[in-house]
Amino acid sequence: MTKQATITFFSILLALSLGLSSQAVAQFQSDFEVRKNFLDENERIFQELKDAETLEEAEELIDEINELRDQYSDHADFLDRVLSPETFDQRITNFSELAEVTRERISRLEDRDTDVSDLDEQIAAMSDSLSDSNERIEELESELASMRQDRNAFRNQSANLRAQLNERDEFILDMVDSIFVAYNDIDLASLSPGEVEELGLEIDIQNVLGHIESVIQNNSDFLDTHTELSAEDFLNLYAVQVEFERMWNNLGPKLADIYAGQAEREQQLEDINSGMSEWANKVDDSAWSSVASAFDEREIEISAFDDAVSFYTSLSSYLDNAIQRAQDEGGSDEELERYQQFADVWREEVKVDWQPHLINANLLDYENVASLDDKLSDWKVYAQPRSYAFLMYLGLALVIILVLGGLWLNERNKNRAKA
């Protein structure tokens, strides 16, 4: 083979190797854009689902989710890897289910037209059910006291008691909500003293304040005696407390106006406010302590937290630090293992078991969850071990360049010798 032919042969090899490298880079850029655009669409749809207020908006979002499925179906295999262990189809299905829940919620709100004249009968029926429920709770508590030596039986009975309390609490929440609807629009200033007194007597007959006190006391006592619950259980109790306090904050001031000047009732209202604060403090301490323990048990070292803001900040900082470490040190099997350890807890526990309660208790919102999801996805990208194929192409290109350079120098030296 002549020298010219040799140079031509290696030049072709160099062009091919550079072309392969360019294709690899172009493919990486294309995949990165698909990932970024898809996750951006995820975040937008999350936000719009959270902000949706009309059926028309909810139905438009359902159509957009279907369009998102069609638009990215050709990239399903790639997105499966990006979203792992979640898949593209699962992500779209989760969006669709959330959109349906949003539409149903808005539909219920739009259809709600409570007839205040029927509230007395509804509340009377609730009171009857509450009486039965309270009797059952007393029976369960009595059984529970005699079974404390048997741990397994104690746990089962605790679950039964918790379920019964949940059922009773739902009755109470419905009752308080119904009473609020009935009395919220009443202008007490326009009523005569006799009419205000009649309102107070009606509330006494229904034993509204007594039922509210019992919910607060039972839940507070439950937290004192049941410390073995899981993080999911405590977060559920947190959500119940937040919803109950929201309703009480709406109704309490109205009742204070109705009972103004009645020392006994004013003291009862003060006791309820005090009990509500004690219940809130207990459930707050129990919930955050159990969540922190869940991360500790999995050897995930996130910074300390004791409220919603510091919890989100702790998770966000942990992911930011992980991304920065992966960028600085490069991907590796060890980094990928650290990612997977956190991703398992995030997807299998936080998003599946905890998220509904965290959102219901206003501890996180969909925007917070979407932000953490994005950071987790970024960490996964940077945690991947470097591509040996790309390094091989780059090394081959360097070898070819060195060989061609050597031939060129050799040829130049010979030409000089002839001269």
Q: What is the mean pLDDT of residues 381-404?
A: 68
Say if residues 220 and 282 touch (Cβ distance below 8 Å).
yes
Asked whether residue 43 is assigned to any structural domain, the reply reads no
Least confident of 65-69, 246-250, 281-285, 366-370: 246-250
Which range of residues forms the domain containing residue 240?
Answer: 116-297
Q: In terms of Cα–Cα distance, which of 44, 218, 212 is closest to 138? A: 218
CA 105, 110, 116, 118 torsion-angle sign: negative
- For residue range 1-37, list pLDDT tens digits in order: 555 555 455 455 544 444 444 444 344 447 788 888 8
CA 310 to CA 341: how far, in whole Å? Answer: 22
Asked whether residue 28 is assigned to any structural domain, the reply reads no
Least confident of 62-76, 206-220, 290-304, 401-415: 401-415
Asked whether residue 122 is assigned to any structural domain, the reply reads yes
User: In 3-state terms, the chain is what percent helix, strand and coil (to 5)?
Assistant: 85, 0, 15
Q: Which residues contact 155 (CB under 8 A, 6 or more apart)?
A: 228
CA 219 to chain centre: 24
- For residue range 35-85, list pLDDT tens digits in order: 888 888 888 888 888 888 888 888 888 998 899 889 888 888 888 887 777
Asked whether residue 413 is assigned to any structural domain, the reply reads no
Cβ neighbourhood burial of 41 (10 Å; 0-12, 13-18, 19+): middle
Say if residues 49 and 366 touch (Cβ distance below 8 Å).
yes
The predicted structure's pLDDT at residue 221: 87
CA dist list (Å): 347 to 296, 332, 370, 409 = 17, 22, 12, 60
Average pLDDT over the chain, rounded to an integer: 78
Query: 81-99 in b/e burial notation, b at 16+ Cβ within 10 A?
Result: ebbeebebeebbeebbebb
Asked whether residue 157 is assigned to any structural domain, the reply reads yes
CA 349 to CA 22: how far, in whole Å? Answer: 41
Query: Which secondary-structure segment (H or E) carries 373?
Result: helix 366-383
Least confident of 38-47, 138-147, 257-266: 138-147
CA 91 to CA 79: how far, in whole Å? Answer: 10
CA 68 to CA 63: how far, in whole Å? Answer: 9
User: Domain total for the chain?
Assistant: 1
CA 283 to CA 231: how far, in whole Å? Answer: 11
Asked whether residue 166 is assigned to any structural domain, the reply reads yes
Q: In terms of Cα–Cα distance, which of 41, 20, 34 is closest to 77? A: 34
Q: What is the mean pLDDT of residues 121-144?
A: 67
Asked whether residue 188 is assigned to any structural domain, the reply reads yes
Q: How many other CB atoms are there within 10 angstroms of residue 8's CB atom?
A: 11
Write down the residue that tokens 């898949």 correspond to. Answer: 87
The predicted structure's pLDDT at residue 248: 86
CA 167 to CA 153: how far, in whole Å? Answer: 21
The predicted structure's pLDDT at residue 389: 37
Asked whether residue 198 is assigned to any structural domain, the reply reads yes
Count helices and strands in the chain by DSSP H and E runs = 15, 0
